[in-house]
Structure 1
């Protein structure tokens, strides 16, 4: 067997005012540099017009929607930020055939915002790039069903077509 364990009061470097205040697990608290770094990495700030989708070991864990300071563990947690503010961009000129077969060069300005941050973060790798890639395709589809001469006269028809 070996010698009996030394009483805690006889260990050098420990001053005990009372035995009730001493906890043996206090020796391990913040003993390595990693113990100091992990808590610092766990704090983050959520700005306005952003949402944060949390994945815990690859599974959806929740969405933080309110701005403020947060503390979440970094072990096994992946955070994906999604901008939910209004975003506007201009597309390059797109060559399109209208309903009459006329060749037109059209440009567009797209304004959008992300409504469902969970779908944007999980289902699409880069949601803003996805919208930029899909905008010319939608423009071609809409213009191919409408004659260019009718667009100025039948703006309500175009709006109804886009809503459906």
Structure 2
């Protein structure tokens, strides 16, 4: 559902080129077409549902054809460059990037996009599909450099990637609909080292939790015994806490003390 909403929002921002004057785009074209009237017999052009075209008159861009159907185009000095606005996908495989901590990471992704501007795609850019495929890895590297490895798996990453790529390909008439990661992994040379590091951190955290729990248990036990009327001298209280800590940290530990408390 989130992807559909994002696609809808992006499509709502679609850019439309200026409509071209097809019958009289230039005075010279108008004069020549009037002198040679038979040329109008080959002036009709048909455009499908997902097609648009940039219109050039004597080599200069004058507007675009944005609606499907049959159009009458002045044949004198006028040429059209078609594009398709149908959705396309682009696979990006194992791009070597560096995350925020400087760790080398391999990322793969998939981009859904479409071309929306005939002028930008055919006049301002030579090959918009190739341009998008070259800009996508740059967007991956930029976003990866801002995030930690684990953060790259978050839901916000796709939105960040789509926005970053959109900044790069807007000039080519490309609209990014979706940019999702399909694979994320450490470089093989450091994968084992990172795994060992993660395991060591997990062990330290587990031991810290165990020590904190043992300390809380020993403290609450002594306080409860005092509330029940037991009294301790300094040495016995320390020995009791010592044995309780060791008992919680090592289940096989056996206390050597005989008596710790005296009733009032």
TM over 0.5: yes
- Identify the range of structure 1 (74-83 vs 132-141) with the bigger mean alpha-carbon deviation: 74-83
1:106 is aligned to 107
CA distance in 2, matches of 1:75, 1:112: 35
For the pair shown, the structure with the greater C-alpha radius of gyration is: 2
After TM superposition, the structure 1 = structure 2 runs for residues 23-102 of structure 1, keeping only pairs within 5 Å, are 41-102=42-103
Question: Do structure 1's residue 144 and structure 2's residue 145 form an aligned pair?
Answer: yes
- Deviation, structure 1 residue 133: 1.2
CA distance in 2, matches of 1:61, 1:68: 20
1:135 is aligned to 136
Aligned partners of 2:98 and 2:145 also within 8 Å: yes
Cα distance change on mapping 1:126 and 1:40 into 2, 3 Å: farther
Tell me, what secondary structure is at the counterpart of 2:93?
coil
- Deviation, structure 1 residue 161: 4.2
Gaps of 5+ in 2: 1-35, 165-264
CA distance in 2, matches of 1:160, 1:65: 29
Aligned partners of 2:100 and 2:147 also within 8 Å: yes
Let me know the Cα RMSD of the aligned residues. Answer: 2.5
- Deviation, structure 1 residue 39: 5.0
CA distance in 1, matches of 2:70, 2:44: 7
1:102-146 deviation per Cα after TM superposition (whole angstroms, max 9, x unaligned): 111111101112233322222111111111111111111111111
Question: Do structure 1's residue 155 and structure 2's residue 155 form an aligned pair?
Answer: yes
Cα distance change on mapping 1:132 and 1:41 into 2, 3 Å: farther
Aligned partners of 2:46 and 2:70 also within 8 Å: yes
Cα distance change on mapping 1:94 and 1:40 into 2, 3 Å: farther
Tell me, what secondary structure is at the counterpart of 1:108?
strand
- Deviation, structure 1 residue 85: 1.8
Cα distance change on mapping 1:149 and 1:124 into 2, 3 Å: same
1:40-91 deviation per Cα after TM superposition (whole angstroms, max 9, x unaligned): 6533210111111100012222211111122323331121112212111212
TM-score by length of 1: 0.67
1:119 is aligned to 120
Tell me, what secondary structure is at the counterpart of 2:129?
helix
Tell me, what secondary structure is at the counterpart of 1:125?
coil
Aligned partners of 2:99 and 2:147 also within 8 Å: yes
Q: Which structure shows the bigger proportion of residues in helix conformation?
A: 2
Tell me, what secondary structure is at the counterpart of 1:106?
strand
CA distance in 2, matches of 1:105, 1:67: 43
CA distance in 1, matches of 2:132, 2:159: 21
Cα distance change on mapping 1:159 and 1:93 into 2, 3 Å: closer
